[in-house]
Structure 1
Amino acid sequence: MPPTIILVRHAQALHNVDRDYTIHDPPLSELGRNQCLHLRANLAPKIPSELDVELILVSPMKRTIETALLAFPQLIERGIPIVAHAGWQENSSQPCDIGSSLTTLPAEFPQVDFSQVDPVFPNKRGNAYANSRPAIVARGQSVLKDLYGRKEKVIIVVSHSGFLRVGVTGKWFYNGDYRVFEFEQGGTKLREFDMTKGKGGLGLSFEEEVELGDGLPEEEE
């Protein structure tokens, strides 16, 4: 049976505070760190009674990694692996959405397994991570197919609002909010659980839905 998927948007990072997208790979803000505690308090009681998590996947960005470490320490202490995956990084090629070097990240975050990160990371030019509608929609399909084939019962993925919305689900995610999904037949579409449908698990996200690829450039920027 395909896994249940908990999709989480990272908590507020420094570039979200004043919309300063020139900050390279920004860490969480103070508010963001508090949002992680709110997320933990809301979601932890459901694990493992309702959601028996066996894997945490993270975009290899500081803000997503920090969100996972702060929000899910009880899972990490239980030995649940936390694995970085380049397929879940954000869309744009602005500095805030360009990752740090794979030569430095493992030392900064020793709890995370970076061994499976695509070695082209953090390059996003002329490859599968380019900021274009065809590339982002294709990447969304690729990561879903990857999840569909996994054996874990429940997987948490900590990613980014843009990619989660226009690449994967068509749903909005507020900073630190989450939604829970199961796969529809075929492994390329998700069906949201009633427990998070509408405004998300924390009740903070927009209810409107968009089409995959909405607003993205047709050619790489």
Structure 2
Amino acid sequence: MPPTLILVRHAQALHNVNKDYDIPDPDLSVLGLQQLEALRKSLMENSLAQNAGLIITSPMRRTIQTALGSVDWLMDKGIKLEADANWQENSAKPCDTGTPAPLLGAEFPSVDLSSLDPIYPDKTTPAGARYSYTKKAILNRSQTALKRLYDRPEKVIIVVSHSGFLRLGVSGCCFFNADYRIFDFSERNSPEDAYKLAQRQETEEKGGGLGWSLKKEVMLGSDLPDEMPEIDA
């Protein structure tokens, strides 16, 4: 049986404060660090989260910091925190472009980077095309991300990612900073079926585990560009 997924958006980061998207791989803001208290408390009290057997994080600084500040209690029990480039944010703006793995490893030694795609954080060259900011690439990447989790042996997996990728690539749901939603995999009738998620009623009706998120849903892939936008020099 496929695992249940607890999908978490990172807490507020510096680029969220004044919409300054030119900050490279930003850290969490002061408010973001405060938001982690509510997120951590809610997850600690959630019976599903208590049984998580794996934590996946986008390799970006704000998601790693969110994971370390909210599920550290699981890591203390020996649950692995693993970085996966498939869960990084959509665009190629500085704020959505990550830090090279050697620097990440030195700063966050408790994060398992052993299976991180060596091409990370490239999104703009032909070698990094699978991470490019296009509708096709993002939808394909979301399928790869979900496929990797579908056959995992853990009953519950926590994933810390980003609003754009979670909303437009994975779930169609809105995520406020530091909020989370709980999903099960929809039944697949053939190997050709796409990997889809069905949200549990407890977070759907409330607007997220903390009740901070908009309840509206969007179509996967909507508002994503068909071609990679040019980046200003």
The TM-score by the shorter chain falls in which range? Answer: over 0.9
Question: Is 2:88 the partner of 1:121?
Answer: no
Tell me what 1:180 maps to.
Answer: 182
Cα distance between partner residues in 1 of 2:73 and 2:147: 28
Distance 2:88 2:184 in 1: 21
- 193, 198, 202: which one pairs with 1:195? 202
Q: Which secondary structure state, in structure 1, belongs to the residue aligned with residue 67 of structure 2? A: helix
Other-structure match for 2:170: 168
Equivalent residue pairs, number: 220
User: Given the alignment, which residue of 215, 219, 223 partners 1:211?
Assistant: 219
What are the residue-to-residue correspondences of 1:46-57 with 2, within 5 Å? 46-47=46-47, 51-57=50-56
CA distance in 2, matches of 1:191, 1:65: 26
Task: Quote the offset at 1:42 in angstroms.
Answer: 1.2
Aligned counterpart, 1:58? 57
Write 1 or 2 for the structure with the bigger share of helix: 2
**Which of 144, 150, 160 is 1:158 aligned to?**
160
Once the two structures are TM-superposed, the CA of residue 33 in structure 1 deviates from its matched residue by 0.6
Gaps of 5+ in 2: 189-193
Q: Aligned AA for 1:151? A: P
- Answer whether contact 2:13 2:29 (CA < 8 A) is retained: yes
Query: What residue in structure 1 maps to residue 26 of structure 2?
Result: 26
Aligned to 1:131: 133
Q: 1:146 deviation in Å?
A: 1.0
> TM-score normalised to the size of structure 2?
0.92
Identity level (%): 52
**Separation in 1, partners of 2:211, 2:16:** 20
Q: Map Cα deviations across residues 35-54 of structure 1 (whole Å, 9 max, x no partner).
A: 11110111211146x75100
Displacement over 3 Å in runs of 4+: none
Residue matched to 1:11:
11
CA contact (8 A) 2:44 2:50 kept: no
**Counterpart residue identity of residue 217, structure 2:** E
The unaligned stretches of length 5 or more in structure 1 are: none
